[in-house]
Amino acid sequence: MTIQVHGAPLSPYVRKVRIMLAEKGIDYELKMAVPYELPEGYEKLNPLMRIPAYQDEEVTLADSAVICHYIEQKASNTPLMPSSPAARARCEWLEKYADYELAPYTTATLFRHTLILPLIKQATDHALIEQAKKEKLPPLFNYLSSQLGDNNWFVENTFSLADIAIACQLINMEHAKHMLDETRWSALHAFLQRCYARESFKTILPQEQKQIEKVLVYIND
């Protein structure tokens, strides 16, 4: 059975799984599934009715972290998680930090309130956007900058799932045209440019950009 990833390309969690698969050179089929318009029976793929979901000949899985850790174990030839317990725990911590600390502001606030709510004709909360940019995100970016230091990558200076998870959240923020401040967080900005330059990101981001352009045309009409 061909691997199936269920979800929509603009979700940071779907992107995380797709980049993981691209980095490992694993083919898959992207089955479109959009939150709140999920096909009948989707609860069998993800009982939480969220994207992504994943299926292969052996398993059906929900949650990007669970899916990525499974892929890592199945295809350990191109490691994206370190093997030592300490470094692996750090990788998991930074992944969790991206998925649960950055996401409420980069994706659920900036991306959702700038692009998705106007798209579905719901009111944007501009105060919430300002609060995310001015109060909520700066300490998180400061923390990530302290963790990155002078390194290229977050864990053992080797590209890993932690880098993918962090970049995927920053990308949603930048998709919504809230760009990471290059002067204030220069190392984090340079890190994101390194991610953009990787083949795995380059294979999927142009398709996302096209979708973003369409959304922008629609909401600015």
Interface residues toward ligand GSH, by CB under 6 A = 11, 13, 35, 49-52, 63-65, 99
The residues near 166 (Cβ < 8 Å, ≥ 6 apart) are: 94, 97, 98, 102, 144, 154, 191
Q: Over the Cα atoms of the chain, what is R_g?
A: 17
Shortest reach from residue 182's CB to ligand GSH, in Å:
26
Shortest reach from residue 163's CB to ligand GSH, in Å:
16
Distance from C-alpha of 117 to C-alpha of 219, rounded to nearest angstrom:
10
Shortest reach from residue 35's CB to ligand GSH, in Å:
4
User: Please, which residue, 51 or 155, has the CB nearer to ligand GSH?
Assistant: 51
Distance from C-alpha of 58 to C-alpha of 123, rounded to nearest angstrom:
43
User: Please, which residue, 62 or 148, has the CB nearer to ligand GSH?
Assistant: 62
106-128 per-residue burial string, b: 16 or more CB within 10 A, e: under 16 = bbebbbbbbbbebeeeeeeeeeb
Shortest reach from residue 4's CB to ligand GSH, in Å:
15
- Rounded to the nearest 5°, which phi and psi values hold at 60? -120, 125
User: Please, which residue, 21 or 51, has the CB nearer to ligand GSH?
Assistant: 51
User: Please, which residue, 52 or 82, has the CB nearer to ligand GSH?
Assistant: 52
Token pair 């174990």: residue: 73
Distance from C-alpha of 18 to C-alpha of 68, rounded to nearest angstrom:
9
User: Please, which residue, 109 or 189, has the CB nearer to ligand GSH?
Assistant: 109
Strand positions, DSSP E, the chain: 4-7, 29-32, 53-55, 60-62
User: Please, which residue, 63 or 208, has the CB nearer to ligand GSH?
Assistant: 63
On the 0-12 / 13-18 / 19+ scale of CB atoms within 10 A, 161 is buried
